[in-house]
Structure 1
């Protein structure tokens, strides 16, 4: 694969537009994370309330993703994207001018889920322009828009410190407006034929066991990424007593490790197979989370979190190399379903970390629970490898990099 061949294979302006749409939407989606210490200070929130505050947008994003994905199938990804960006401005206006209580911010968080639903439009809009051999890289580039988290974690604490948290919502609306214009100018629909998706087709996909498995895997990788990105500002302020701006800077550094490795994950998956990449991701991330649960010194915690986020970023790219291989005729529909599961995973992580902090007295309990779950999912994936080897078409098996540990062990020569 060469860069020239990749550029010729699809439509780079649409790929760029999809990246920008996802990037600015992701910034807005996680906005309450870096602003939560300011809100918690003014509203006197408990750890559980902080966790719920940053988790609500992630949960509502899971609800809106299938809705926006279905809308994109009906009216086209370009129109759906323009609508999504327009609606995203509403909660920013409410936060700027009207919000003043915990309940108000829960409502704003629910509306911010529309920004999270951009995933179900941006990735299919870009990927439909590219053939199967470039799917991993194309979806990885579009999906690297999760780097929008950096804009939120780096700039919002500073803006809130100097101009007040109310005005931070107004500042966030500016890049949304700019991307709305750019998306209108750059994005185009793929000429590849596309039939509207019916609820019967959703039902058929949900009836397949592999749909559930991919939802589980993505709830760990993407859910872990967005859940940690949303909650780490609270974690650093509460656990290590950093200032709000310092906490945002550390979160930015950590998120860099995961955001820009998503396309690398797709690239590696195109070469080694998404299955093999995902196995390594789950092993390292799970072990890292268990180590982090000991709540080490700040420098060690930042390094371990950087490694964990790097693995989760790679895993996100690897999963969406696998998805088009397994569900070639239903990429848009399955993307909405799997993406929704990622949002649910993101909701559960900060929610349980806040809850366990209030009831167990430490954030370590929540980190250990998530690390243990990640390692259990690794074992599930290992068992599924042998099953998929028997069920998937030979070409899909090759591209996915499937193997069975039982077969590997059986092929080793005896001593």
Structure 2
């Protein structure tokens, strides 16, 4: 990769702003994941209820990504991001000062989905500044903002334990989002290449295209797997291995780091070797690792297996979004919202699958086997669809065609 070419081809302040916005939003989006282990000391919940609490923010994010994706195409990603951050402050204030029942926490959880919807504005803000040959890296860097999850799993339960209250964690979360809002407002700039807003019927036509749904399925497994695991692993380690709230979150952090920081690597490798090739390998790795996890091995081995699985999911996120902007360059805002919503839905169902199977069978094994089967099924799907892709918009070896290649 030509480093100087990459730096000169886009707008670095906007790329940084996109990363920071995504990072702090992700941190807030998954706040209830590790905190659930602390919250259940105040509200007794069974396995399914705990899974539901941590899944609700992901559901909210899935739905609202469609809204923010639509706004991104109409008013631009910068203004959409500013509005998103202001609204995100509402559930933080509510959780800090007012939430005193499980029912109120469910409302706060859904409203935290606004933070998860940041995806639909942050990625187009970065993507529209960069040419096709740098899409994988640019989207990978912006998407690495999911590293905000690490701050949540590492510090949320420690803060709650230190102050003797999980409410105060919501108050602390207000500090970074206010800072990022100011930085974002100063540095971010909409690309001059932003396409003209489409009509609603144009967006409906996107949903009628098979490729849209293929990307939705792929991303629901990679991103959905990552965010679902990130939200649920603290509960899993606490329940399965009897770890304390802080210790369970620490082990979850180790696994989350893999999915967070390897996303740009996935985008870069997809630029180099092709998104299709990368996804074949990554879905295989994830499927095999989850099958091994289903045996519920000793803690040390379990962390290693989940680390590799989460790394594969993170790299898969970068690989999927190396392809998406090439296929839907002029509709990237709404497509990002649609595909991101599908990813969120995957993250919503993952905790539900694990929690419900644990409640029903008394073991996590069936749940992990189901997840493994879904990942491996994606390989079969890609084998089928890539035949048509190579005839239309994919080049040799699964690399997305650039505009220069198409012109030649």
TM-score, with length taken from structure 2: 0.96
1:219 and 1:342 in contact (8 A); partners too: yes
Q: Describe the SS at the equivalent of 1:42.
A: coil
Mapped to 2, the partners of 1:116 and 1:136 lie a distance apart of 21
Mapped to 1, the partners of 2:172 and 2:182 lie a distance apart of 17
Change beyond 3 A, Cα 1:71–1:283: same
- More displaced stretch, 329-338 vs 271-280: 329-338
- Counterpart of 1:375? 376
- Counterpart of 1:58? 58
- Counterpart of 1:125? 125
1:270 and 1:399 in contact (8 A); partners too: no
1:192 Cα offset (Å)? 1.2
- Between the two proteins, the alignment pairs up a number of residues equal to 399
In the alignment, structure 1 residue 336 sits paired with structure 2 residue 337: yes
Q: Describe the SS at the equivalent of 1:384.
A: helix
1:399 Cα offset (Å)? 7.3
- More displaced stretch, 362-371 vs 259-268: 362-371
- Counterpart of 2:405? none
In the alignment, structure 1 residue 277 sits paired with structure 2 residue 278: yes
Mapped to 2, the partners of 1:193 and 1:165 lie a distance apart of 42
Change beyond 3 A, Cα 1:194–1:401: closer
1:197 and 1:333 in contact (8 A); partners too: no
- More displaced stretch, 99-108 vs 180-189: 99-108
Post-superposition CA distance 1:179-234 (Å, at most 9, x none): 01110111001111421132212211110011101000000000000000000000
TM-score, with length taken from structure 1: 0.94
- Counterpart of 1:364? 365
2:271 and 2:399 in contact (8 A); partners too: no
Q: Describe the SS at the equivalent of 1:154.
A: helix
Post-superposition CA distance 1:107-162 (Å, at most 9, x none): 01110010000000000011100000011100000000000000100000100111
- Counterpart of 1:202? 203
- More displaced stretch, 273-282 vs 193-202: 193-202
2:127 and 2:325 in contact (8 A); partners too: no
- Counterpart of 2:264? 263
- Counterpart of 1:29? 29
Change beyond 3 A, Cα 1:193–1:92: closer
2:276 and 2:397 in contact (8 A); partners too: no
Moved over 6 A (4+): none
The aligned runs of 1:264-413 (5 Å cut-off) are: 264-390=265-391, 392-393=392-393, 396-398=394-396, 400-401=398-399
Mapped to 2, the partners of 1:101 and 1:360 lie a distance apart of 29
1:74 Cα offset (Å)? 1.6
Instruction: Give unpaired runs (5+ residues) of structure 1.
Output: 403-415
The aligned runs of 1:88-237 (5 Å cut-off) are: 88-163=88-163, 164-237=165-238
Q: Describe the SS at the equivalent of 2:40.
A: helix
Mapped to 2, the partners of 1:177 and 1:244 lie a distance apart of 28
- More displaced stretch, 8-17 vs 244-253: 244-253
Q: Describe the SS at the equivalent of 2:379.
A: helix
1:278 Cα offset (Å)? 0.6
Post-superposition CA distance 1:250-284 (Å, at most 9, x none): 11111111111101100000010001101101001
Q: Describe the SS at the equivalent of 1:271.
A: helix
Change beyond 3 A, Cα 1:187–1:379: same
- Counterpart of 2:14? 14
- Counterpart of 2:404? none
